[in-house]
Amino acid sequence: MKYWRKPLDMEQNRDSLGRVVIIEDRCKGCQFCITFCPRGVLRLSEKFNKKGYHYPEVIDASKCVNCTFCQVICPDFAIYVVDDNEDQQPPMTASEKEI
Domain boundaries, the chain: 18-85
**Under DSSP, is residue 81 helix (H, G, I), strand (E, B) or coil?**
strand
- Looking at residue 93, the DSSP 8-state letter turns out to be P
Closest C-alpha to 43, from 61, 28, 56:
56
Per-residue pLDDT tens over the stretch 18-27: 899 999 999 9
18-85 domain in CATH 3.30.450.40?
no
17 confidence band (pLDDT: 50, 70, 90):
confident
Per the confidence metrics, is the pTM higher than 0.95? no
Per-residue pLDDT tens over the stretch 76-94: 999 999 987 655 544 444 4
Closest C-alpha to 53, from 66, 61, 44:
44
